[in-house]
Structure 1
Amino acid sequence: MEIETNGTRIHVSLRGSGNVALVFLHYYGGSSRTWDRVADELSDHYRVVAPDHRGWGRSSAPAAGYRIADLADDAEGVIAALGLQRYVLVGHSMGGKVAQLIASRRPAGLIGLVLVAPSPPSPTLLTEEARATLAGAYQSRESVEFVIDHVLTARKIDEELRAQVIDDSLRGAPQAKAAWPNVAMSEDITKEVASINVPTVVISGELDQVDRIATLQAELLTRIPHAAMQVIPATGHLLPLEAPGEVAQIIAGFVKAVVDKLVV
């Protein structure tokens, strides 16, 4: 479905049902489809809400508005439009940084936070060469394939998922592709995340080269001290695609524990 919010048309994938919704926010280069195999495991028990960030997937691509706060406002608008009463935010990589900012605002209805290979709240500092490389990573099929094989994954993904990653990466609007490495990645939300007060789990890939375990331990876990980390062995950065079953299992266990605690 399409939802008009924050001056932008956001495409949202919906499935499942239940008293608790899972709101999935995708990575830089992905789309709502990134979560399909995770959602397959969870939609029998939960309502699944997966928006495309502005400039990605089937959402509109305004000329400006790609800072973390803009993406957070978009997601909160989707949540409000759907009238979600109890929900857990699940953010991957860039979507993880967006989810952290939303959670720091302590919105009504938020009961938990799942950060999957998240970008940390502190600025990610890149050399100009590295920034240019990242900004150009999704410009051609060849460049996307290189990134998949040498940066994003540690486990081989099947051909269907590989084609999906390539399509999603190339489909992104130029302004969306430029905004993350040049603006949003460098934003500092460390003060904001100190306000996060919901149960939080961080899911990391053992071999993640993008948001490494050591970086998250230093830059994220020290700032959200009640957060717990779970590591999935032999996986890279694209956890929702490399290990969807394991990610879904951790999410399900986490959400059950959160809900059980609320009931007591």
Structure 2
Amino acid sequence: MNTPYRLIGSGDHKVLVLHDWFGTSAGWGSFLDYLDGDTFSYAFLDYRGYGDRKAVTGAYTLAEIADDTLALADALGWERFSLVGHSMGGKAAQQVLAQAPQRMRKLVGLAPVPAGPYPLDADGEALFYGAAQDRDKRLAIIDLVTGQRASRTWVDLMVDRSLQLSTREAFGGYVQDWVTADLTKRIAGNPLPVKVFVGEHDLALTADVMRATWLQHYPNAELEEIANSGHYPMHETPVALVTAIESFLSAP
């Protein structure tokens, strides 16, 4: 597989990490500096149309992300691995689980989109579907999910990076799929150890949303709310996030 990826660490516990709708494999801030590379090996993949794969075209679907993720695991020689998925990447991680449940060790959903369709009213559809072409809509989404409390400088940076590091075709294609796809029947009842993290200030993917979805779908799921964070704890509270994720992954 001739696909670029970012590898951090050389530990025995293999972890594949899937980014969000606005992000890339590099868009994790100082979180990357605090990972335990002796215990874990982390591989970060860019989706087609994003980051180092911005020029790579595709169907821009969750199934395609899952296929590329599994191909990367094969190329790395990782028969079994854990998955960390942020936001849209949380739903993509569930697609990987649906396609290859026997290869999964643990699943971390970080402010994750649930497995079922994501309900949007008319205003929500205009906002999310229009964000591919409209910078102001991207800004409104970032502001919403961080609790309308982050500095404008930071929000502008997040929006500008998403415009620079992804194509509008990919950005628009993925939202159509992650909003409408329904994976519920394919993953419900899976006994895999699952940990879900949400930021206390996220106004969209809240703890209540997780209790009604992820915690209903997975019998061995647990939920942790991260204090003083919104949708992007890798930027807002990176040390707390690394500590919490690796504590879960390290547990028997």
TM-score > 0.5, shorter chain as reference: yes
Contact 1:116 1:203 in 2 (8 A): yes
Residues 1-264 of structure 1 correspond to what in structure 2 (within 5 A)?
A: 3-4=1-2, 10-45=3-38, 46-61=40-55, 63-139=57-133, 142-148=136-142, 150-154=143-147, 156=150, 163=157, 166-194=160-188, 196-257=190-251, 261=252
**1:171-208 per-position Cα deviation (integer Å, ceiling 9, x unaligned):** 31122111233233111000111253321100111121
SS at match of 1:221: helix
Counterparts in 2 of 1:195 and 1:35: CA distance versus 1, 3 Å? farther
Contact 1:202 1:230 in 2 (8 A): yes
**1:66-98 per-position Cα deviation (integer Å, ceiling 9, x unaligned):** 221111111111111111244210000110001
Structure 1, 170-179 or 160-169: larger mean CA deviation: 160-169
SS at match of 1:112: strand
SS at match of 1:58: helix
Report what 1:7 is aligned to: none
State how far apart, in whole Å, the 1-side matches of 2:61 and 2:203 are: 24
Instruction: Provide structure 2 residue ranges, at least 5 long, that are not aligned to the other structure.
Output: none
Structure 1, 58-67 or 196-205: larger mean CA deviation: 58-67
State how far apart, in whole Å, the 1-side matches of 2:41 and 2:114 are: 27
State how far apart, in whole Å, the 1-side matches of 2:158 and 2:186 are: 34
State how far apart, in whole Å, the 1-side matches of 2:100 and 2:191 are: 7
Structure 1, 16-25 or 152-161: larger mean CA deviation: 152-161
Alpha-carbon RMSD across the aligned residues, in angstroms, is 2.4
**1:1-50 per-position Cα deviation (integer Å, ceiling 9, x unaligned):** xx43xxxxx43111211111221100001101123422321143321210
**1:111-155 per-position Cα deviation (integer Å, ceiling 9, x unaligned):** 11111010001101223432221133354555444433x213246
Report the Cα offset of residue 162 of structure 1. Answer: 5.7
Counterparts in 2 of 1:107 and 1:222: CA distance versus 1, 3 Å? closer
Report the Cα offset of residue 160 of structure 1. Answer: 7.2
State how far apart, in whole Å, the 2-side matches of 1:13 and 1:41 are: 15
Amino acid at match of 2:20: Y
State how far apart, in whole Å, the 1-side matches of 2:160 and 2:23 are: 9
Contact 1:96 1:116 in 2 (8 A): yes
Report the Cα offset of residue 158 of structure 1. Answer: 9.7
State how far apart, in whole Å, the 1-side matches of 2:158 and 2:22 are: 11
State how far apart, in whole Å, the 2-side matches of 1:238 and 1:169 are: 18
Instruction: Provide structure 1 residue ranges, at least 5 long, that are not aligned to the other structure.
Output: 5-9
Contact 1:103 1:196 in 2 (8 A): no
TM-score computed with the length of structure 1 as normaliser: 0.84
State how far apart, in whole Å, the 2-side matches of 1:228 and 1:203 are: 9
Amino acid at match of 1:78: L
Amino acid at match of 2:200: E
SS at match of 1:228: strand
